[in-house]
Amino acid sequence: MSVHKEIKKVTTHQLQEMKRRGEKIAMLTAYDYTMAKIIDHAGIDVILVGDSASNVMAGHETTLPITLEQMIYHASSVIRAIDRALVVVDLPFGSYQGNSKEALTSAIRIMKESGAHAVKLEGGKEIKDSIERILSAGIPVMGHLGLTPQSIYKFGTYTVRAKEEEEAKRLIEDAKILEESGCFALVLEKIPAKLAEKVAQSISIPVIGIGAGSGVDGQVLVTHDMLGMTHEFSPRFLRRYLNLYESMNQAFTQYINDVKSKDFPNESEQY
Ligand code: KIV
């Protein structure tokens, strides 16, 4: 008797096929069971358990404080909700930069303890050994170039990256290194659209953009941003599909008023 569900799951191979036939890849973040279930049922291709959980879930200013244990907790909550999407989990800051053995140990913990399908690492040439070592254990790896929030203290700002020729050249070289190392896909964050398109055309693996224009193979947004829950964050690349901050605020205010005015609960809302 099989315990596997019949629903066809998205695989890394399918994402590469999608790039080949020009079908765009849709990716969103999730950090908990309920949100992941709604996103998965809507038909998303990839769910990213991003280390943006550090900001969105825990209220930290940067992605640096989140721990491997916390990422595993978020990832296992997401995995329990998923029928179809490919689930990729960020290796958090400090869990892979030391050496390739540390990177492999962290990736194995994520895969084993959460049931995730792949990991994502920030960086290019400097983490090539770690990527290859993780891949040698059969763990799919997604790369991440451009604005890499784990290096925020090196760069100092969250502004657009690789606007200068020298940095753009390095980014293209890094993208090729990640492809050669065996990454199944690559995230490009906040770089000029023309450069992102050039990268997508010069490598065979899918390139998924955030603030990287339309010439790439797919798009990713932070779910809480696109739902308009984080109303104080308004970069140019962000399209808001809802204004949940407003709707939720109205609902909470109404609830408070209903409790205080003794309108809630009414006759039909009690036993
Ligand atoms: O952590 C995250 O949410 C990310 C996306 C912005 C790509 O890395």
pLDDT digits (tens, 9 = 90+) for 114-151: 999 999 999 999 999 999 999 999 999 999 999 999 99
- CB of 230 shorter than 6 A to ligand 1: no
What's domain 3-240's superfamily in CATH?
A: Phosphoenolpyruvate-binding domains (3.20.20.60)
pLDDT digits (tens, 9 = 90+) for 33-80: 999 999 999 999 999 999 999 999 999 999 999 999 999 999 999 999
| Centroid of ligand 1 to alpha carbon of 26 (angstroms) | 14
Q: How far is CA 255 from CA 130, 249, 260, 261, 267, in A?
A: 51, 10, 9, 10, 17
The number of residues making up the chain comes to 271
Which one-letter amino acid corresponds to residue 164?
A: E
Output the residue whose Cα is nearest ligand 1's atom 2: 50
Tokens 């700002």 correspond to what residue? 157
- CB of 29 shorter than 6 A to ligand 1: yes
Q: How far is CA 166 from CA 48, 162, 173, 261, in A?
A: 30, 8, 11, 64
Query: What is the atom index within ligand 1 of the atom nearest the CA of 208?
Result: 7
List, by residue number, the catalytic residues.
189
pLDDT digits (tens, 9 = 90+) for 96-118: 999 999 999 999 999 999 999 99
For the four alpha carbons of 260, 261, 264 and 266, in that order, the dihedral sign comes to positive
Place 1 in a pLDDT band, splitting at 50, 70 and 90. Answer: low
pLDDT digits (tens, 9 = 90+) for 207-240: 999 999 999 999 999 999 999 999 888 999 999 9
241, pLDDT greater than 80 = yes
Query: What is the atom index within ligand 1 of the atom nearest the CA of 122?
Result: 8
Query: Helix (H, G, I), strand (E, B), or coil: what is residue 18?
Result: helix
5, pLDDT greater than 70 = no
| Selection from 114, 105, 94, 93 nearest residue 134 by Cα | 105
Query: Helix (H, G, I), strand (E, B), or coil: what is residue 8?
Result: coil
Listed by start position, the domains of the chain span 3-240, 244-271
Q: What secondary structure letter does DSSP report for 91? A: P
| Centroid of ligand 1 to alpha carbon of 51 (angstroms) | 6
6, pLDDT greater than 80 = no
CB 139 within 8 A of CB 161: no
Q: What secondary structure letter does DSSP report for 88? A: E
Instruction: Quote the pLDDT of residue 2.
Output: 56
DSSP string, 20-39: HHTPPEEEEE--SHHHHHHH
pTM comes to 0.96
- CB of 122 shorter than 6 A to ligand 1: no
